[in-house]
């Protein structure tokens, strides 16, 4: 029966949560398209389903049982309910396999699946993550005999398609990936902070740890309540609605930390990059799934980290994650992520990184979160012979997912031939905006995953980058590659629009820019509001030689 319980968590629980979430979703004239025919919407909900007639009948029945209305809201809710009902039937049909035995690697992959498919949150973010999480679940079986993977994959196929259909409907019924408030003329009083940050959280990002209120102190020398970060996290309140601050004093902490989904609104504060270091060496060849190699894994909503180094010292030859993030509305300020292959796993949901440093060799910023990196420094390391250095491997698998990587106002310090990214999944999406690139960024810019895979369906873009590696003349000519010329198009990938940052970042206190910075003066001269940014850029360029030595 244990395997049956696992499948219940794997398939059913997410649908109960999304149904609950959807009760709070509303449609307004400014965000909804009323040109869609109700019958066409119902057909879309059953697209590519093996028994379409039965699927259509089930949705019609759900509508009749609810209130009989055929408006978009009712149809979408009925489609979600149908997904839940079909998942129940799937469970009933496979209970006879409940005595399946599994290897330790299989068991670890099953644990990944249990965790990956148990979450809630913003409806579109949830649906986007649901599709990616099922991929990650199956990827965990790499290195096994694939028997259990094939069984689980077959069980999930129809449910996965139903989720995909619901996500497509949601996108069709909304004009924007995240609905804007009715008052769209928002005034952002302090452009250093996102709107979803409270005044209290802003203070936490400014104050010296010795002057701020902290709930727990971790110190290797015994001067705090805890000597272990994991112990402090485990004893922190679960499902907290207020910020719980853990101050980690300087030192090198050899531990693996997993902040589960119930550990919400936790903040880790260190003494600075290189001073407070959390380090581990898990890697794929030790028997861990890539998902579980993380030195620090964060799933609880609203996580914040400040002034900490996350490090994975595993061998260059295999995947080893320093930081994995599944935390919605999470923020990282003045942190460092150090590793080789797969350093920063921006796995899912909305994330923000400010003034962080990321080190690696291959695909060292990867995953399928909706992530914005601002004012960050990206360092390449020496790869193995015959390996090519690639910064990003974004994993968007559906054109309707609200995910992708936006790297803005940042610096790429490449000391080896380097590519900006390659498509891990079919609809991979990554943009670089207002970012300085060293001369080792290769003229073609981007690299294939294999053959022509995803070259037509990916969405890669560059906007007003600068530096010796930023020239667009030799860039790839793929159908999915875009030279962004219009500021209004580039603004889609900003904090305000891409991760709905105005609704949650101000509450965290992390500095941020809601919109695009104008860097034209770097090329034509002048003195306007970009002066501070340009001075910083020039200072960074002058210091480049010293910085590269440290990489």
Phi, psi (deg, nearest 5) at residue 509: 85, -5
Instruction: Please classify residue 56 by burial: count the beta carbons closer than 10 Å to its beta carbon, then call 0-12 exposed, 13-18 middle and 19+ buried.
Output: middle
Q: How far from the centroid of its chain's Cα atoms is residue 129's Cα?
A: 9
| 459 three-state secondary structure | strand
Tell me if residue 363 is catalytic. yes
| Cβ-contact 476, 444 below 8 angstroms | yes
Q: Which of 112, 307, 342, 363 is catalytic?
A: 363
CA distance 343 to 361: 9
Give 416's DSSP letter.
S
**Residue 407, beta-bridge partner list:** 373, 432
Phi, psi (deg, nearest 5) at residue 534: -70, -40
403 Cβ partners below 8 Å, 6+ apart? 128, 132, 348, 368, 369, 370, 394, 395, 396, 429
Give 141's DSSP letter.
T
CA distance 351 to 325: 8
511 Cβ partners below 8 Å, 6+ apart? 192, 193, 205, 333, 354, 355
| Cβ-contact 420, 446 below 8 angstroms | yes
Distance of CA 433 to CAs 78, 383, 494, 540, Å? 41, 26, 9, 17
| Cβ-contact 317, 286 below 8 angstroms | no
| Cβ-contact 457, 432 below 8 angstroms | no
**Residue 304, beta-bridge partner list:** 267, 331
Q: How many DSSP H helices and E strands does the chain contain?
A: 15, 26
Give 24's DSSP letter.
T
266 Cβ partners below 8 Å, 6+ apart? 233, 236, 240, 243, 244, 246, 259, 300, 302, 303, 304
CA distance 344 to 357: 11
376 Cβ partners below 8 Å, 6+ apart? 353, 354, 355, 356, 357, 358, 407, 410, 411
Is the torsion defined by CA of 316, 319, 320, 323 positive or negative? positive
**Residues with a known catalytic role:** 363
């Amino acid at each position: 029966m244990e395997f049956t319980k696992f499948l219940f968590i794997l398939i059913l629980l997410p649908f109960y949560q999304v149904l609950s979430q959807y009760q709070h979703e509303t449609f307004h004239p400014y965000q909804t398209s009323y040109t869609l025919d109700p019958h066409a919407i119902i057909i879309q909900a059953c697209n590519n389903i093996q028994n379409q007639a039965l699927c259509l009948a089930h949705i019609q029945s759900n509508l009749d049982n609810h209130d009989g209305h055929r408006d978009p809201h009712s149809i979408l809710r009925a489609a979600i309910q149908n997904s839940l009902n079909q998942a129940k039937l799937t469970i009933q049909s496979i209970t006879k396999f409940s005595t399946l035995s599994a290897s330790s690697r299989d068991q670890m992959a099953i644990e990944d699946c249990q965790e990956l498919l148990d979450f809630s949150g913003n409806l579109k973010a949830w649906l986007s993550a649901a599709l990616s999480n099922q991929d990650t679940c199956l990827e965990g079986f790499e290195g096994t005999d694939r028997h259990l993977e094939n069984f689980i994959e077959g069980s999930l196929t129809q449910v996965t398609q139903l989720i995909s259909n619901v996500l497509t409907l949601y996108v069709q019924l909304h004009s924007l990936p995240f609905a804007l408030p009715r008052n769209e003329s928002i005034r952002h009083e302090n452009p250093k902070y996102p709107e979803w940050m409270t005044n209290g959280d802003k203070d936490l990002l400014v104050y010296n740890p010795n002057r701020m209120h902290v709930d727990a102190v971790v110190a290797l020398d015994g001067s705090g309540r805890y000597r272990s970060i994991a112990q402090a996290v485990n004893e922190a309140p679960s499902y907290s609605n207020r910020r719980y601050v853990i101050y980690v004093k300087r030192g090198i902490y050899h531990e693996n930390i997993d902040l589960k989904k119930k550990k919400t609104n936790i903040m880790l504060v260190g003494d600075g990059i290189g001073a407070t270091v959390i380090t581990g060496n898990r890697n794929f060849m030790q028997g861990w799934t890539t998902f579980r190699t993380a030195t620090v894994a964060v799933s609880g909503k609203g996580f914040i980290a400040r002034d900490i180094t996350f490090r994975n010292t595993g061998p260059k030859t295999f995947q080893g994650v320093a930081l994995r993030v599944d935390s919605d509305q999470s923020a990282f300020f003045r942190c460092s992520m150090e590793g080789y292959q797969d350093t920063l796993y921006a796995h899912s949901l909305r994330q923000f990184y400010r003034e962080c440093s990321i080190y690696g060799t291959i695909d060292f910023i990867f995953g399928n979160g909706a992530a914005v990196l601002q004012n960050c420094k990206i360092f390449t390391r020496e790869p193995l012979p015959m390996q090519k250095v690639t910064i990003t491997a974004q994993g968007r698998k559906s054109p309707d997912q609200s995910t992708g990587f936006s790297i803005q106002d940042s610096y790429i310090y490449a000391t080896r031939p380097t590519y900006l990214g390659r498509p891990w999944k079919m609809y991979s999406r990554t943009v670089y905006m207002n970012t300085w690139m060293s001369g080792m960024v290769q003229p073609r810019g981007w690299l294939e995953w294999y053959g022509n895979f995803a070259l037509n369906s990916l969405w890669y873009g560059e906007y007003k980058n600068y530096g010796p590696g930023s020239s667009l003349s030799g860039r790839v000519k793929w159908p999915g590659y875009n030279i962004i010329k219009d500021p209004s198009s580039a603004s889609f990938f900003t904090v305000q629009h891409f991760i709905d940052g105005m609704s949650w970042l101000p509450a965290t206190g992390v500095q941020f820019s809601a919109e695009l910075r104008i860097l034209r003066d770097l090329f034509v001269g002048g003195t306007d509001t970009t002066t501070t940014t340009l001075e910083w850029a020039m200072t960074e360029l002058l210091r480049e030689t010293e910085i590269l030595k440290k990489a």
